[in-house]
Chains A and B, each alone.
Chain A
């Protein structure tokens, strides 16, 4: 499976501030998936990016796939307390067999 590095590991923001987490790979990725895990919960699929330079939006969340398909980002505009949780990226998808996740970014939003 593909290996990805995810940064930052932790992020504390004030409610209303923006937040970005990044996934970086040394190899070209077939696709990348993003998941969110609420505290005490289980990971939930958010989105999959496949095309070079692809940008997708879900309300206040913007997902990007780099032109070289080696990196991706998740940006949240004007964070809310409901955004609290851990955001994981997964590189390659099931076509590579093993689902390998980045170590995740733990987001804390202070009201």
Chain B
């Protein structure tokens, strides 16, 4: 049973481009979470999704950020028109209900 898979591991984008971060949860997991982390800081919650539904997006910036978890395929975190302040590590976690979360290795986004 493969763990949570995130790709790419490293992503470089120029200002104004789009960034697409992918997360394949563990097999059998229907809950997906996205977090953002700056160096030496905590995990900032962004969004919680279940299959085809956004359950809680209270941590998502109102503009430029969107997330989806389709019926088939990975969860996608999309950042449009990236700015330097979007540079961070983005972690995805998955779980079943009432169990611990398993994290992917993260995508390090650098905006140049």
Contact = CB atoms under 8 A, between A and B. Distances in A.
A58 to B, nearest CB: 14
Contact of A43 (B48, B91, B95, B98): B91
30 contacts: A1-B45, A1-B56, A33-B100, A41-B105, A42-B103, A43-B43, A43-B91, A43-B93, A44-B103, A45-B101, A48-B100, A86-B42, A88-B42, A90-B101, A93-B98, A94-B31, A94-B95, A94-B96, A94-B97, A95-B98, A97-B48, A97-B56, A98-B33, A98-B45, A98-B58, A99-B48, A101-B42, A102-B42, A103-B42, A104-B41
A95 B97 contact: yes
A102 B101 CA distance: 15
Nearest to A94: B95
B69 to A, nearest CB: 14
B104 interface: yes
Nearest to A93: B98
Contact of B105 (A42, A100, A104): A42
Contacts of B65: none
Contacts of A74: none
Contacts of B100: 33, 45, 48, 93
Contact of A94 (B45, B101, B104): B101
A106 B99 contact: no
Interface in A42-73: 42-45, 48
Interface string B35-61: 100001111010010000001101000
A45 B42 CA distance: 15
A106 B35 CA distance: 18
Contacts of B42: 86, 88, 101-104
